[in-house]
Amino acid sequence: MSLKKELFKKVPFKKHALLTQFSLTLTLLMLLVNQSVLASTTISDDLQTHHFETPPTRIIAINWSMAENLLELGITPIAITDIKGYRQWVVNPPIPDSVLDIGTRSEPNLERIKELNPDLILSSALQKGLVPQLQKIAPTLYYDSFREDHNNAEKAQQIFTQIALVTGKQKQAQQRLQQQQDQIKKLKEQLITHFNGQLPKVSLIRFANPTAVIIYGDNSLSSAALDKLGIQSALTMPKTKWGFKQFPTSELAKIKEGVVLHIEPFEHQPLLDKSPLWNILPFVKNKQFSTIDSTWSYGGINAVGYTAQAVTKSLLAFPIPAPSLNNE
């Protein structure tokens, strides 16, 4: 074969190889650019707009509900406020021992926060006045979670999904929300079976002290849990910012039917048990009172699921069907 023919055969091959290499390089560059674009996120919290080039990994939660959101997404915060209080009042999801305590929710230790070098801080209404100082340390997302002019449960879900977006955990958020929905559906079926299709009305309360009681109603996460379980409230309450109102304990005498469930903890229960006023209340006399495991009524969207679990656990211990106060 002539030299001319050999060159004619080899040159196109070299061109093809060069084109292939160029195409591969271009594809890799496009993938890198796409990854950068995907990682870059712009969101608006309840104060301003933030831009993140990459998902933050060193996150501090000043508020318990924000800590809860992170943990539900599989993210361990480097620090939160009042870990002891969290473990008493919130309980779930559990806080790992590796998480550091940075003071109280109202007065977090700003110097310690700065030392920890976070790349994201999560805050809420209680810390609004601290946001300017926190922003000097790291980008700070602020959420006004509880307001009378919005649905608190819907807002809680929006916050959860937005934090998931910022941290690159959208898939985990979708899975967790679906898991919660499926779980509540099963809990509802258990209750319907247990009570032969006649679910009792329920009032969820929390004692401030032996003479004052918080009654949860419209716009509370507790009420959202009851709604998803198909349970009506035994005492209608108006919509409020936090979804509850505080009354003298004597107000509970207005509950004429259904079950009353108290959210733990309450250290003064022995004093309450000795109270003549308490013992003449119809639901106490008829043994339609019980407690439920501690759940945080002012938490994130996953608190709705934990409340539904606690309510179901308590109700399943009642007789079938639940007795009526009208039988007096």
pLDDT at residue 321, rounded to an integer: 60
Q: Are residues 91 and 193 in the same domain?
A: no
Structural domain contains residue 245: yes
**Domain limits for position 50:** 42-144
> Is pLDDT larger for residue 196 or for residue 18?
196
| pLDDT tens digits for range 77-122 | 999 999 999 999 999 999 999 999 999 999 999 999 999 999 999 9
Quick check: 72 pLDDT over 50? Answer: yes
- Mean pLDDT of all residues belonging to the chain: 87
Write the CATH number for 60.
3.40.50.1980
pLDDT at residue 37, rounded to an integer: 43
- Give the residue from 113, 144, 175 where a domain finishes: 144
pLDDT at residue 25, rounded to an integer: 53
CB 257 within 8 A of CB 201: yes
N-terminal to C-terminal alpha carbon distance within the chain? 113
Q: Are residues 251 and 189 in the same domain?
A: yes
From the list 239, 46, 246, the residue with the least C-alpha distance to 148 is 239
Q: Are residues 223 and 129 in the same domain?
A: no
CB 40 within 8 A of CB 131: no
Residue 96 to residue 100: CA distance in whole angstroms: 9
CB hemisphere CA count around 327 (13 angstroms) = 10
Quick check: 1 pLDDT over 70? Answer: no
From start to end of the chain, where are the E strands?
A: 41-44, 49-52, 59-61, 79-80, 100-101, 120-124, 140-143, 202-209, 212-216, 244-248, 259-263, 289-292
Number of helices (H), then strands (E), belonging to the chain: the values are 12, 12
Residue 276 is which amino acid? P
Q: Are residues 207 and 297 in the same domain?
A: yes
Q: How many domains does the chain have?
A: 2
pLDDT at residue 7, rounded to an integer: 41
Structural domain contains residue 16: no
